Structure 1
Amino acid sequence: MNGLQFGVLLFLIAAGLTLIFGIMDFVNLAHGVLYMVGGYLMATFVALTGSFTMGLLLALPTALVVGLALEYLVIRKLYHRSHLDQVLATFGLLMIITEGVKILWGSSPLSVPIPPLLDGAIPLIGQVKYPIYRLAIIATGLAAAAGLYLIVNHTRIGMLLRAGATNRNMVAALGVNISRLFRLVFAFGVMLACFAGMMVAPILSVDTGMGESILILTFVVVVIGGIGSIRGAFLGALLVATVDTLGGTFGPILLRMVFDPATASQVGRTLAPMLVYILMAIILFAKPAGLFGRKPV
């Protein structure tokens, strides 16, 4: 269950990143820090309104505005630059946003209370209980995945997104405003990353380092699923989260069959983070373009 909950959060971040990377051919290293910004926006608006629901309703449009502002001020100037320029620029943007957050909110972690309606736990098996809020995260993530599927596969905007991911020059030649499409994709991707940070804020402390580790896993998800594929991002997120969670939990237990408990615990903690990258290597060996990626031509 924890792996599923972590997986839907990874999907929300990876979906925006794979759209930005697949359609815009833009490498955005600042995507993970936007997950952190979502957490801080949620903490701020919940504190101001005293309501989780009102905080979320205010934080989401604010995240969209942040995405539009970043695209207008920085990102649009990098569309026709090399990937190296994009990496350097967005890495600088990452540092600027991180320091800006420290200036605005300070370095101390913030917390968001769990809404009373979703507080508590429900029994699963015997005496085992699972928090209701984590179940709500799973349900919200699955609903978001279903909504993205419908938008991408059954709407005109989705048609343009799929066409742009396949051949954006042809889409532009057919009269589609590519700049507007890019602006929409980037802002929507930012909002998805921020939404993941908003949802996780009540169960994790909101701090300036929360976006760094999640960015690496998000890139792994995008590579495993295939660049530009929402379906691949969803399946890749579930695979990565499950392997990461189960490896960290059961790895030391299994190693006790070979080592003493202290050594097994130490070796397990060392090997667990490697499992995700081993999984990525195996999948790329079998399918170099990822699970649902397009084969290079």
Structure 2
Amino acid sequence: MLELIITSTLNGILYGMLLFLMASGLTVIFSMLGVLNFAHASFYMLGAFFGFQLSRWFGFWPALIIAPVLAGALGAAVERYGLRNVHKNGHVAELLFTFGLAYAIEEVVQMIWGKSPMDYRVPAVLDFPAFTIFSTNYPAYKIFMLAVAVAIFAALLIGLKKTRVGMIVQAALTHPHMVGHLGHNVGRIFMLVFGFGTALAAVAGVIAGPALVTQSNMAGLLGPILFVVVVVGGLGSLPGAFIASLLIGLLQTFAVSINGSLASVFGPLGPGHTLLADVWNVTVAQVAPILPYVLLVLILILRPMGLLGTRET
């Protein structure tokens, strides 16, 4: 039991931090541009595929640097030549643009790499057990993934709160016209922030690709959870996204590891309750995929602005 708790906690924190790497970029983009980028998870997928291809040519470590830069440059180009022109037509046009972009990216990925999973492997230098919990070996690569996520989270907080660039970005979030009057190119700031947000998603893709499955539908599998994180944390709230990421990561990881059901707790139903028999025997692990969405519904009912969001946001 203790082994299950410790392992599930580590895996939940790791999964939550990976979610935060993506949700943080999406949150900053929404705060600045007011755009819920439906294609954000597609840049996570691009990061994984770029990382896979570049690791075959140059090795994993160069790929970890080059892939996010390529994805970030592509994201900046999307903002500069796509969203900026669509923005004048309103939020509906922006949502449709990013929705279509997500499908376009997925189709391009399938044309280049196909639909089968890629043989994206953990680098040999990190392919060993870091420690043993009771009888379970915990991979060193997962510790590396967690360390990268924590380091980026700390750098992001320090960068936004303590540096001149971070202060300019925060000012542009709330008072773009004043920042423009002070001589800063607000359009360029928007473009760079959008590119940086997509690069963060790509970092998550590069480091998650060897541990998870790298395939052309990975954006569709993770995209909905990403928006749950952003809404539960509070639209535009970076600390809220961090808390929601960890909450959902731990919730889903623990739920997957629990095989208990109502039948195991209260006993089987009598012969007169055949209509409820299937529901009575459903395990917690079987309903684990829907729990984040149940949390989303409860948050929208009880606190529509999210955990740390505001009505103004």
TM-score normalised by structure 2 residue count: 0.87
Q: Secondary structure at the match of 1:253?
A: coil
| Mean Cα deviation higher: 276-285 or 22-31 | 276-285
Match of 2:253 in 1: 245
> Cα 1:265–1:4, aligned 2, differ >3 Å: closer, same or farther?
farther
- Give the deviation of 1:192 after TM superposition: 0.6
Instruction: Verify: 1:56 aligned to 2:64, yes or no.
Output: yes
CA separation in 1, counterparts of 2:74 and 2:266?
51
Match of 1:206 in 2: 214
| Mean Cα deviation higher: 94-103 or 223-232 | 223-232
Instruction: Verify: 1:32 aligned to 2:48, yes or no.
Output: no
CA separation in 1, counterparts of 2:48 and 2:24?
18
CA separation in 2, counterparts of 1:164 and 1:81?
21
Instruction: Verify: 1:290 aligned to 2:298, yes or no.
Output: no
Q: Which amino acid aligns with 1:123?
A: F
Instruction: Verify: 1:182 aligned to 2:190, yes or no.
Output: yes
CA separation in 1, counterparts of 2:280 and 2:211?
29
- Give the deviation of 1:259 after TM superposition: 5.8
Q: Which amino acid aligns with 1:292?
A: L
- Give the deviation of 1:169 after TM superposition: 3.8
Q: How many residues align?
A: 295
Higher CA-based Rg:
2
Q: Secondary structure at the match of 1:90?
A: helix
CA separation in 1, counterparts of 2:23 and 2:128?
29
CA separation in 1, counterparts of 2:53 and 2:91?
35
Question: 2:171·2:179 contact (CA, 8 Å) conserved in 1?
Answer: yes
Q: Which runs of 5+ in 1 are unaligned?
A: none
Question: 1:111·1:201 contact (CA, 8 Å) conserved in 2?
Answer: no
Q: Which runs of 5+ in 2 are unaligned?
A: 1-9, 269-277
Task: Show the 5 A alignment for 1:1-297.
Answer: 1-49=10-58, 51-250=59-258, 252-255=259-262, 256-258=264-266, 266-296=282-312
Question: 2:261·2:283 contact (CA, 8 Å) conserved in 1?
Answer: no
CA separation in 2, counterparts of 1:169 and 1:265?
59
CA separation in 2, counterparts of 1:146 and 1:136?
15
> Cα 1:82–1:126, aligned 2, differ >3 Å: closer, same or farther?
same
> Cα 1:76–1:241, aligned 2, differ >3 Å: closer, same or farther?
same
The C-alpha deviation readout for 1:155-177, integer Å capped at 9, x for no partner, is 12211222233333443344432
CA separation in 1, counterparts of 2:85 and 2:304?
31
- Give the deviation of 1:234 after TM superposition: 1.1
> Cα 1:54–1:296, aligned 2, differ >3 Å: closer, same or farther?
closer
Give me the identity figure in percent.
35
Moved over 6 A (4+): 262-265
- Give the deviation of 1:32 after TM superposition: 1.0
TM-score normalised by structure 1 residue count: 0.91
CA separation in 1, counterparts of 2:294 and 2:267?
22
CA separation in 2, counterparts of 1:245 and 1:20?
28
